[in-house]
Amino acid sequence: MRVFVTGASGWIGSATVDELLAAGHEVVGLARSDGSASALDTKGVAVLRGDLDDLDALRRGAADAEGVVHLANKHDWGNPAESNRAERASVEALAEALVGSGKPLVMASGVAGLAVGRPGTEADPSPAIGPGSPRGGAENLALGYVDRGVRAVSARFAPTTHGHGDHGFIALITAAARRHGVSAYVGDGTTCWSAVHVSDAARLVRLGLEQARPGTRLHAVAEEAVPSREIAQAIGDALGVPVTSVAPEDAVEHFGFIGGFFAMDLAASSEHTRAVVDWTPTGPGLLADITAGAYRDA
């Protein structure tokens, strides 16, 4: 299959591209910089220059492909409204280019806000509806194209897709521990995050592209609920610093913007996902990755 991938040189995107190539797919990657283009070219990936604001490039990439994987996101935490706007516009451009084709569109989403008091499941619809909502309501927008002949699939990623080289949320929490000389959790540390190793996440994206039925929600979740206190303890052990609690009202001051997320309960299940695409995670767990030094230099 000729697959157009946005975010092809990013953390999850790089692993997904490797997974797709290993499975025999031809990959076209969106690249916004010379460095990204060179990295993709070295892998044998065809390069389409552009970014999420270049909607014409997105439409061309989708129209010329047999399947699309959308992983790019601006992640502008200083201007979330702009990130949300760009995400909605890019998903709409990709989906419009695929209308009536029956081709797959696998798009990245998340598990935040799916449920209260229990792990979120694939049966829970995204609460983000409309342009002003998180991610611009792009998941619901994409799944709405199923009735227009697009095999839209949502890949909901755990809050940490971890591994050596990750520069995401756990790296930011680790950086705060190094900055303050203590590894902290919020409150009593009983809130939990789901987690997945990047290799398992990449494999799930491929399986979703190849196998998932239109309208499927997949959860890239290997571990359902890792307590935040255990995450902080693993980071403290890896860095050789003490572990402590910070009050919820001080979380953002201590961690930066990630403090608000670290205080949230983001547990999620992947039971249905494992059944519908025969996915079994095999990568190391989050605590094992931290202990092995994956974030020591973050």
262: pLDDT strictly greater than 90:
yes
pTM, two decimals, is 0.96
**pLDDT of 208 above 90:** yes
Q: Contact at 8 Å (CB) between 258 and 169?
A: yes
- Give the Cα-Cα-Cα angle 240, 245, 248 (nearest 5 degrees): 140
Count up the domains in the chain and report the number: 2
Whole-number pLDDT of residue 64? 97
Do 32 and 151 share a domain, yes or no? yes
How far is it, in rounded angstroms, from Cα 125 to Cα 30?
Answer: 29
Poorest-pLDDT segment among 129-138, 178-187, 232-241: 129-138
- How far the first Cα of the chain sits from its last, in Å, is 36
Question: What domain range includes position 74?
Answer: 2-157+197-220
Same domain, 127 and 257: no
215 and 238 inside one domain: no
Residues 293, 290: Cα–Cα separation, whole Å: 5
Question: Taking all residues of the chain, what is their mean pLDDT, rounded to a whole number?
Answer: 96
Residue 61's nearest CA partner among 80, 79, 48 is 48
Rg over CA atoms, the chain: 19
77-107 confidence digits (pLDDT tens): 889 899 999 999 999 999 999 999 999 999 9
In CATH, what number is assigned to the domain containing residue 216?
A: 3.40.50.720
